[in-house]
Structure 1
Amino acid sequence: MAAKKWCLILGVSSGIGQACARSLSKDGWNIVGLHFDISERENEIETLKKELEKNSEQVVFFNRNADSKKERRDIVEHIKDLLKGDTVDLMLHSLAFGTLLPFIKTEEVESVIQKSQMEMTLSVMAHSLVYWTQDLWESKLIKSGAKIFAMTSGGSVMYSQNYGAVSAAKCALESHARQLATELAPHGIMVNTIRAGITDTPSLKKIPEFKALIERAETFNPHGRLSTPEDIGEALCHLSKMESSWMTGNIINIDGGEILTI
């Protein structure tokens, strides 16, 4: 009997996280998903769970705050009980919750980012990768052969007026992944970031200048279109099949060549 494959997806309920859950489910993975949604989305999320259950033997969702130390440790204990001696073979960090404001006040810009907003954005979208990895490691829920991926973006190296705090978070995320990759390499654990192209997701539409970003990608992406969440899900399934941890500490571009031309 084949061993169960378990993945943990932080940010499972929409966009890239949701697409990756669908792709991994079709490939036979059991899904543990974390999301943080209001009650109005309850039916939509329940529909996603039922869809995943058609292919996955087990699907468990937690509607909790991924950035809370108490919540995180409680969920890790739940995962430990659920897996009954199995381990998490793949973790995807796809948390997209941050403040979208410029830094400098001008005649055209009235609201600028504040310290608490900057700190929250960095904590949720970057630092939480470290804390989740630490807790999984200390709970013996990841071992040799495990794979950790975190979603970054071209915004880590390009300017967009309201994206400053998120850009900083993506830069920190990439740095954290390199550090984790180096420290976990002796234990056979792979850690990489995935840099998607501009992708039409609910998170993209929260950026005030999202229409200009879409137009730029459609014009200059070598494939002549936006990236899709399904592009990332397909790639993650291929990456999940790697047996070696030799490819680690990288920023993997899954963007149709977009980073080369925009």
Structure 2
Amino acid sequence: MENKVALVTGGSRGIGRKTALRLAKAGYDLVINYARNEKAAMAVKEEIEQMGRRALTVKANIGETEKIREMFRAVDEFFGRLDVLVNNAASGVLRPAMELKENHWDWTMNINSKGMLFCSLEAAKRMEKNGGGKIVSVTSIGSIRYLDNYTLIGASKAAVESLTRYLAVELAPKNIAVNAVSGGAVDTDALKHFPNREALLEDARNRTPAGRMVEADDIVNVIMFLLSDEASMIRGQTIVVDGGRSLLI
């Protein structure tokens, strides 16, 4: 793992934070991208450095392609390489379809879909120089089934899963593996923005066949597997981690 570098977008909290810390524990140096909360990002950086790894924090709204390019230039200057990208950052407007406006579409799609694509393309340029790499994106079951107020985010996550398939084929000759992880309801800070949060949590507690809610570590476990050599023949797949909840009507 000498000098290998991983970039986690939205790496200051929730699943992104746990992924960054797990990668550091596995021996990676880290780039922590964040949009607003510098204090949280610096706290993750400190935890990573306490493990003896190097860490760089980069503030960037990945919905803007110029900010993405600036972020990758910072990675070049600080580390000079990139081996892993975890597209975790997400945002979006939670409203019924009839209440949506054009700017809601732009905001959600830019961060969740456009950001994933152009972060992946910039990452691939660096990975190719190192002989290959791994890209994993975080999506959700709202991409394939209906969730209240989730119209725009669901569509953006469906785009992420489609892009995962296309990028997996086009980047395979560069020895870059591309996959995604789709999670069920996880009680993180992001879920606090859902107007129907309590109903989602109750559903997850009572109707998940596995007998419990999905936890952030369940998602991170699969991310880490897809980043490992053992998963080298898994390409363009979206692995659902929801304890079987999406199997029920």
Which residue matches 2:218? 231
Distance 2:39 2:82 in 1: 27
1:57 and 1:45 map into 2 onto residues whose CA distance is 15
Instruction: Tell me whether 1:192 sits opposite 2:179 in the alignment.
Output: yes
8 Å contact 1:151–1:194 — kept in the other structure? yes
TM-superposed deviation, 1:127: 1.6
Aligned with 2:44 (options 25, 33, 48):
48
After superposition, where does 1:161-180 map in structure 2 within 5 Å?
161-180=148-167
Q: Structure 2 residue aligned with 1:152, among 113, 135, 139?
A: 139
The structure-2 alpha-carbon separation of the partners of 1:213 and 1:54, relative to structure 1 and needing over 3 Å to count, comes to same
Q: CA deviation at 1:230?
A: 1.6
Give the structure 2 partner of residue 6 of structure 1. Answer: 5
For the 8 Å contact 1:143–1:189, the answer to whether it is kept is no
Contact 1:198-1:217 within 8 A present in 2 as well = yes
Matched position secondary structure for 1:60: strand
Kindly provide the amino acid, as one letter, of the partner of residue 117 in structure 2: V
Contact 2:24/2:30, CA 8 A, preserved across alignment: yes
Q: Distance in 2 between matches of 1:236 and 1:161?
A: 27
CA–CA separation in structure 1 for the residues paired with 2:128 and 2:175:
14
Matched, 1:91 2:65: no
CA contact (8 A) 1:146 1:189 kept: yes
Q: Distance in 1 between matches of 2:43 and 2:244?
A: 34
Q: Compute the displacement of 1:244 (Å).
A: 6.2
Candidates 59, 69, 74, aligned match of 1:73: 69
Q: Is contact 1:11-1:33 (8 Å) kept? A: yes
* Counterpart code for 2:93: T
Name the CA distance, whole Å, in 2 between partners of 1:242 and 1:261: 33
Query: 2:116 and 2:39 mapped to 1: Cα distance?
Result: 28
Q: For CA contacts below 8 A with separation 6 or more, give which structure has more relative contact order.
A: 1
Q: Is the contact between residue 147 and residue 240 of structure 1 (CA under 8 Å) also seen in structure 2?
A: yes
Please, what is the CA RMSD of the aligned residues? 1.8
Inter-CA distance 189–139: structure 2 relative to 1 (3 Å threshold): closer
TM-score by length of structure 1 reads 0.88
Q: Shift of the alpha carbon at 1:33?
A: 1.1
Question: Alpha-carbon deviation of 1:139?
Answer: 5.0
CA distance in 2, matches of 1:258, 1:22: 28
- Give the direction of change, closer, same or farther, for the CA distance of 1:143–1:164 in structure 2 (3 Å limit): farther
Q: In the alignment, does 2:7 pair up with 1:30?
A: no
Q: Relative to total residues, which structure has the larger helix share, 1 or 2?
A: 2
In the TM superposition, what is the alpha-carbon distance from 1:142 to its structure 2 partner? 6.0
In 1, the alpha carbon distance for the partners of 2:61 and 2:128 equals: 20
8 Å Cα contact 2:65-2:115 kept in structure 1: no
Q: Secondary structure at the match of 1:203?
A: helix
Identity %: 30
Larger Rg: 1
The letter for the 2-side match of 1:74 is E
Alpha-carbon distance in 2 for matches of 1:167, 1:140: 29
For 2:206 and 2:247, the matched residues in 1 are separated by 13
- Given that 2:128 and 2:174 are in contact with CA atoms closer than 8 Å, whether structure 1 keeps it comes out as no
Cα–Cα, structure 1 residues 56 and 171, in superposed 2: closer, same or farther, change >3 Å? farther
| Corresponding residue number in structure 2 for 1:202 | 189
Q: How many residues align?
A: 249
Residue in structure 2 matched with residue 108 of structure 1 by the alignment: none
Q: CA deviation at 1:201?
A: 1.1
